[in-house]
Structure 1
Amino acid sequence: MDYKIAFFGAKPYDIASFDQVNEAFEFDIRYFKGHLNIHNVVLTHGMDGVCIFVNDTANASVIDALIGNDVKILALRCAGYNNVDLQAAKNRLPVVRVPAYSPYAVAEYTLSLMLSLNRKIHRAYWRTRDGNFSLNGLMGFDMSGKTVGIIGTGKIAKILIHILRGLGMTILAYDLFPDEQFAKEEGYTYTSLEELYRKSDIISLHCPLTDETRYMINEDSISKMKDGVMIINTGRGQLIQTNALIEGLKVKKISAAGLDVYEEEGDYFYEDISDHFIDDDVLARLLSFNNVIVTSHQAFFTKEAMHNIAQTTLQNLKDFFEGRPLVNEITM
């Protein structure tokens, strides 16, 4: 195909996976390292489509500029789209996404955070490297018999629930649209948020970021949780009010936190800033806790997921240019 695609936020692993899959599509992909924003949107001039990720900016000004540059479609190579002004794009610029790439990847990674925090594997790793083989401070608990609260029960959460049930855990779930049939099959219970907070030993977030869910984990909700609760977030950073989380950790209301996302991650995640200091005081404070694991939004990052992202993204583009229905179009 002769269609030109501007690809922003390109990393070596993006280029490798997209180039491999693109052999069957033959798009002319122009890779750019920088994140899309109003200052570099000029690079989209002469492009037929634009491909972006979670840290790119597609606000109203950028949407207007894309349309002015005669860009015909905006393709997100991710599931979330809170960085796109859909109102500005409505009826002017089609926006497509990758709704699912590997729910297994995220579910398995969520479990790995739970296990690592519980058994202090991250601390033990650093200790033994320094020749410290003491067990003091490394005691965990049996996962079997404990209660996990799952907020949001989409594809990822359902896989996680199946895994956790295999460990002998009790599941409490909350969702605006509960799947009672699946709950019956897996043997878990839907309940209110209040009861989930009160009874859960571990709480894991799997709901989308909306106006209703933004900062749902805050001072008030934390106060309702069981003492010593573990919180896991592999969803979106702004589901948690970080300062409230830090306060909960300081007073030991929260025993541990596993965060693959952070509310202000845009300036840090996916970048190597090891030669610089972290000037975000909140993030620096989080990283100072030995009972907190922060990772760089990598829960999705498997070979299978990267292949599926490239395949679906390029198929979305092909469907558009060949006039077929856009099954993954985001509509308001």
Structure 2
Amino acid sequence: MTLAARPLGAVLTVLLAAAVVVAVGIGSVHVPVTDVLDVVLRRFGAAVDASVVDDRIVWQLRMPRVLGAAATGAGLAIAGAVLQSLTRNDLADPYLLGISGGATVGAVSVIVLGVGVAGLAGGAALGAGAFLGALVALVLVLVLATGRGGDLPPARTVLAGVAVGQICAAYTSFVVMTSGERDAARRVLAWTMGSLAGVRWHSAVVLLVVVLLATVLVLAFAADLDAFAFGDASASSLGVPVERVRWILLVGTALLTACLVAYTGAIGFVGLVVPHVVRLVCGPLHRRLLPLSALAGAILMVGADTVARSLVDGQEIPIGVVTAVLGAPVFAWLLRRESRTR
């Protein structure tokens, strides 16, 4: 049974706004919701009193991280929904095309080998290395998967992504195991499990803009994605330029994922589970599925990041651990539910 999209979208929007306000107030220093609202209103020009300390904590430290989490969750959910439709593969997620493996190669090259990136240092070099690694992995997948006529068959694309991912995993393991750094494995593992600790306003703005542009792009192809559910032949008979649409959406979602991974690391289960849950609630039509998945993914990521940075005093849990704990049982329930209906 599906629910109406507009009321559900309104509810999710309110929940997301509430989650952002509450999450900004949670941390080592608690800030009441009223003080959070005072800081936000003051930043937007309202004549409201807010302390300098609250302004620094809320606006300069926590707000960009929370907004970055929302953008990341929305982007991963959208990418997962698109890839599941394009490949007709229920297990498809944003890292299907070897993006995560390529990004890890780039990150490991910077973390362990100390490879420089155009004069950048620290987190900027790490992000740039991860993004470049993801792009190289994407190019390799497309080269391996593209047919002689320029077609991009879903099955071959998935297999190419698996192959490239395995090559990247082998490189990562070799570099970590042969490096002389004792904590190399720990640092690489921490990156691969994802973190939003390094997100500041400049990176939050980039993430928000990229996800917004990606959302507009995929919504423009919502009707085409609906046609893909009936197979390539049926979609072509309905006037859909199958190969062109597949190329645009595969490359577009891969670039979106590469950008997200570069800033936050590989965060699992969001892009896999969220589209399935939303599809179960609102149905398969993509003009509803995509925006609702974005809202649900944003809520999940804001909540997961809040848990990751506040569950243990003085220590931050990798956000990938939280999303796995939340997502794996839900996905298992979905699989069990589907097995009962067939």
- Structure of greater relative contact order (alpha carbons < 8 Å, 6+ residues apart): 2
Q: Normalising to structure 2: TM-score of the pair?
A: 0.30
Q: Which has the larger share of helix?
A: 2
Q: TM-score, normalised by structure 1?
A: 0.30
More strand by share: 1
